[in-house]
Structure 1
Amino acid sequence: MYKYLFGPVPSRRLGISLGVDLVPKKVCSLDCVYCEVGNTTKLTTDRKEYIPLSKIEAELEHFFGNNQDPDYITFSGSGEPTLNSQIGKVLQFIKKEKPNIPVAVLTNGTLLYNQDVTKEILDADLILPSLDAASQSVFQKINRPHPLLSATKCIEGLVSFRNIYKGKIWLEVFILPGYNNTPHELDALKEAILKINPDRVQLNTLDRPGTVTDIRSATHQELQYVMDRWGLPNVEIIASSIYRKQLLSYQGNIESAILETIARRPSTLEDLCAMLGLHTNEINKYLDVLEAE
């Protein structure tokens, strides 16, 4: 059982992906209302070695020696991975041990103004940042950022990073009806997207409840409206279907344990993680499979 690796799990965007968790749960620079992992418990922009580099490398080395290669290795997990000051060394370790496996960084993008961060992740094959708001008021409402952050600062960081990064950037925009789908905010987001110039813009919305009660998923029609209003050729709606056959690490006994547990009593995501000893993201993938059936 790994502590800092999870999966491989089927990813909407990356096929079969091995996740690498570089920070403890909910250490993040944002406290997004839609976060499926839960409320941020340590809101920070301070970078440090939250998890010892040696422990992450040891788990990766064991995985490489005992498993088939995934489609991607992804820095993601239950917090903001760029907060780990050793992210560059983890990336270089993977590139040395498994140069054939592409590495993706799933990030909220808030630290890309920091030149140390950008230098450390330049060798990643794919960066997947998020941008949910272009105005400060909507940024505060959706993302509830650390006080040192602003929407303008985040957008400027993304633009600067695009200018030096040679890999692919897939920008995720999380649409929340009533929050960021007004004509004014959508037009401001389009203006920011044109400056950032990502290879893809991917529209996402809720799969399951976030951290506040007054949010809901955008319908396909609402997402299509965003696409039509922007009129950009590189915008796509992310498909949410997950199939059992895609999940290399899928185990029937885990499915049974989940079903038996929730049949006996209502359980939170944290309850299931504690009982089954699995990472939050991995439990979510099992839930996706069960929901699809």
Structure 2
Amino acid sequence: MSYKYLFGPVNSRRLGISLGVDMVPFKTCSLNCVYCECGDTTVLSCDRKEYVSFDALKSELTDYLAKNPKLDYVTFAGSGEPTLNSCLGRIVNFVKTSYPQYKTALLTNGTLFYDPQVRRDCLHVDLICPSLDAVSDEAFAAVNRPDRALDNKKVIDGLIQFAHEYKGVMWVEVFIVPDINDTESELKLFKEMLTKIQPQRVQLNSLDRPGACDWVTPVLPQKLSYIAQYLSPLPVEIISRSGSRPKSEITGADLEETVLSLIRRRPSTLEELSVIAGKTINEIHAALDNVTANGTAETYSVNDKLFYRVRKISAES
């Protein structure tokens, strides 16, 4: 079976072996973050609906999980905001009841927790990783470029309320954009809000590959260390792209399909794909050679780095 909504498994430093579940169409999101590695949001909305049907998601998950794969998490994530899908709660409950041996995770921008139904949908997820990139209205507008229906205070209050209701594990990710959300005043606000949320981890992240806006730059390591110290005694860690990850047993055509599922959602370099797919450089290179030779994928360069992406088919083709 070819999967349209499942991707990976990804070998995640944070989550181990993670099967991704794409809940919404490409770049359907409530935010248009300047740092997003998937590019600009094409459908900017807070409207919840069944973007991908419950039956379609259930069918693919049933087929894949019936093989009893080795997984650490079934992760609701992808190239858009998963909580926009109104069947999120149903599909979470399906996985939890039908495949209780697997833990579930949710990667979310955290903007919709003001909605009581969204909070109910997420209560039984084992691990939730919401983003909090800004506390002030000015930083929220500059970094996240939200849908006009979003109110910053309502977003933060919703996240705090959910954190108090939720009994699972929460890791809050803060993406630092230099000169916008790393000022002393912003850091003070971050510390106040994160203290109210009380997550098990605060994870600092910064630009590692091209974002939606080319003016966004990486953060110096010493600046990230300073921020981590500033936020103490909160449990802060700096997200590293390196480090050991589990190895994958996927080979041949399955590896090519896995590689395509990854670059369909996020362009990546050879080295990045080797790490997240858990395969050697040579194995990934061979898979990429095949998918570029048959015209499925293509390459492009940014700052002297070669990226792979799924080839766009013109309307005339």
Asked if Structure 1 and Structure 2 have the same fold, meaning a TM-score greater than 0.5 normalized by the shorter chain, the answer is: yes
Give the TM-score, by structure 1 length: 0.87
* 1:81-131 per-position Cα deviation (integer Å, ceiling 9, x unaligned): 000000011001101221121101100000001000000111110110000
The gaps in structure 2 that reach 5 residues or longer are: 256-281, 313-317
* 1:244-293 per-position Cα deviation (integer Å, ceiling 9, x unaligned): 8634447466533536859x963699972248xxxxxxxxxxxxxxxxxx
The aligned residue for residue 185 of structure 1 is 186
* 2: CA distance, partners of 1:49 / 1:265: 33
* 1: CA distance, partners of 2:248 / 2:182: 33
Trace 1:214-233 onto structure 2 (pairs within 5 A).
Answer: 214-233=215-234
Identity of aligned residues (%): 47
The aligned residue for residue 28 of structure 2 is 27
- Partner of 2:66, secondary structure, is helix
The aligned residue for residue 273 of structure 1 is 310
* 2: CA distance, partners of 1:196 / 1:25: 30
The aligned residue for residue 142 of structure 1 is 143
Q: 2:286 aligns with which of 237, 256, 270?
A: 256
Residue 154 of structure 1: how far off its partner (Å)? 1.5
**AA matched with 2:191:** K
* 1: CA distance, partners of 2:120 / 2:32: 25
Alpha-carbon spacing, 1:22–1:270, altered in 2? closer, same or farther (3 Å): farther
- Partner of 1:138, secondary structure, is helix
- Partner of 1:173, secondary structure, is strand
* 2: CA distance, partners of 1:165 / 1:102: 16
Contact conserved, 1:80 with 1:107, CA < 8 A, in 2? yes
The aligned residue for residue 129 of structure 2 is 128
* 1: CA distance, partners of 2:203 / 2:249: 25
* 1: CA distance, partners of 2:155 / 2:135: 9
Contact conserved, 1:139 with 1:150, CA < 8 A, in 2? no
Q: RMSD in angstroms over aligned alpha carbons?
A: 2.3
Contact conserved, 2:203 with 2:238, CA < 8 A, in 1? yes
The aligned residue for residue 203 of structure 1 is 204
Alpha-carbon spacing, 1:12–1:179, altered in 2? closer, same or farther (3 Å): farther
* 2: CA distance, partners of 1:265 / 1:162: 42
* 1: CA distance, partners of 2:169 / 2:226: 26
Residue 216 of structure 1: how far off its partner (Å)? 1.0
Contact conserved, 1:10 with 1:242, CA < 8 A, in 2? no
- Partner of 2:163, secondary structure, is helix
- Partner of 1:198, secondary structure, is coil
Residue 160 of structure 1: how far off its partner (Å)? 0.4
Alpha-carbon spacing, 1:23–1:178, altered in 2? closer, same or farther (3 Å): same
Residue 38 of structure 1: how far off its partner (Å)? 1.1
The aligned residue for residue 107 of structure 2 is 106
Residue 168 of structure 1: how far off its partner (Å)? 0.8
The aligned residue for residue 12 of structure 2 is 11
Q: Does 1:41 align with 2:48?
A: no
* 1:205-260 per-position Cα deviation (integer Å, ceiling 9, x unaligned): 11201011111111221110101112224111112116686344474665335368
The count of residues paired between Structure 1 and Structure 2 equals 274
- Partner of 1:186, secondary structure, is helix
* 1: CA distance, partners of 2:299 / 2:159: 45
- Partner of 2:309, secondary structure, is helix
Residue 162 of structure 1: how far off its partner (Å)? 1.1
- Partner of 1:158, secondary structure, is helix
Residue 70 of structure 1: how far off its partner (Å)? 0.6
* 1: CA distance, partners of 2:160 / 2:190: 13
* 1:3-28 per-position Cα deviation (integer Å, ceiling 9, x unaligned): 00001111131011000000000110
User: Which structure has more helix as a fraction of its residues?
Assistant: 1
The aligned residue for residue 284 of structure 1 is none
* 2: CA distance, partners of 1:109 / 1:195: 15
**AA matched with 1:273:** V
* 1:37-56 per-position Cα deviation (integer Å, ceiling 9, x unaligned): 11100100000000111111
Alpha-carbon spacing, 1:90–1:50, altered in 2? closer, same or farther (3 Å): same
Alpha-carbon spacing, 1:247–1:221, altered in 2? closer, same or farther (3 Å): farther
